[in-house]
A and B are shown apart, each in its own frame.
Chain A
Amino acid sequence: MPNPLLIAPAATAPCRYMMLRYRLARLLRQLGVEATDGPRAIVDALAARIGCEIDIDDQHQFGVPGYFGVTVITPASEYVIFVQAHTSREHQTHIVMHEIAHIMLGTTDQASAALFRGTHRTGDYSNFQERDAEFVARTITGWTSAALDARLPVQTDERIARLARSLEDRIAWS
């Protein structure tokens, strides 16, 4: 298991979530993705950064109440994210972001003792690891939706698009 890319502050640290948001923004900038690129680009950038595959299976039928999503680390150290099939695409994307947050925070191992080597989203936030992962997922999804809502007309030429980006206001992490 590699070192976590995103280190959550101590549970009692003042301004804990502000610091976590700041660190998350820095990580996303380092990953080289724009908020308007969408969640799939974040998954791909993270996979490239940690140097392994992150596969998503969005056709898994988990019983309810229970898991919405599960991350499993294969013997080849690749990640497979299983997502509840019986929900909307938007909800599935959020579940994937929650699992991605666990990978960023390096909190996939802790869940392994119970069931398997991986982690899961159940919607229960009584422990800090789940709460932090959900905070990261909600922050990313909130940023991406705000950035997409405020998006200006897309430039057809890549050079012109770069010029436009240099003049645009900063929304989300970029």
Chain B
Amino acid sequence: MSAPPIYLDHAATTPVRAEVFDAMSPFFGPRFGNPSSAHRWGREARAALDEARERVAQCLGAAPDEVCFTSGGTESDNLAVLGAWRVLRTQGKRAVVTSPTEHKAVLVAAHQAAKEGAEERLLRIDATGRIDLAEASITLGTDTAVCSLMWVNNETGVVQPIAELAALAKAQGALFHTDAVQAFGKVEVDARAIPFDFASVSGHKVGAPKGIGAFYIRRGTPLEPLFFGGSQDRGRRPGTENVAAAVGLARAMELAVLEREAHWRTFEAMRDALQAALEAKVPGLVVHGGAAPRAPHILNVSVPGTDSESLLMALDLQGVAASSGSACQSGSITPSHVLSAMGVAPDLANAAIRMSFGALNGPDDVARVAELFPALVAKARGLAGVA
């Protein structure tokens, strides 16, 4: 195979950007200090960490004390759901509200809250993948401790009306968390504009390394920590801070904010071109979330009569990296809970292919995948030789 490989899985992870790598490197070398130490090494590290926190805060329309560094999206989501529930359960709140299309980091955290006595409630998702706003305030009630909803869905790219949902939750007296892992860098995440109490951001989705994330906590919001130990991060996240990664995250987030609008246009043009080409060439192709507002970097399609596993193997063997949207640790594939919640039939959900655009892509990639995909589909449908 002579053509260069094509990475269409930016929603899974992205490469560390050169600027980010450079920004981090001193902290793997001479500036290795522990920010809690009183000596000069410690002071140097502390200064870098404080500065990183300020810059991350800036990117989120937040104050520095409203930003906490975590290990990434999963920890941030857990901290929001469980941290809020565990405080508010003592104040008479009894429900944790999410939706069936949330990331497992939220859904399983909500299951954990349920084991601790919470009533787990799910908002209704319509066939386009959007939350039913009319029903939402009824489901929320006044007894909800925390409501957690993903801003941009990681499998379909569907954008939820987070401003409206946050307002609804606040009106019912609930704390509101949004998993903004796929949203950050695509939509404007501004704590001054939208009244969310918590927000999760993951570094490795935006060109920072894996293992670092930001967690926004609106000033004055109650929260019980997940970890116990030192007083780092005001006790909200004990443990020696990952200074290098925090500095890298700050740089990556700044770049993401600067490039946000240009990226939207570039990714949307590529995504729309690929979608149009596939719709034209592959009879019966279904675009998941296509009827809802979508972030520009995700295209999720199913071809009837195929299965994700076979197509993803075939694509990978041709150098194209995509995903089913719901891979797990062993690397095997199970039908997507997101698509199932949208009412997609199991056969079709089992055929889902998520292609997600990012910095590694250009228009040539679209052309090649538009060429390759229909041929591989024909084989996967058992029609080899027809294409």
Q: Do A and B bind each other?
A: no
B residues apposed to A, CB below 8 Å: none
Task: Report A's interface with B, CB cutoff 8 A.
Answer: none
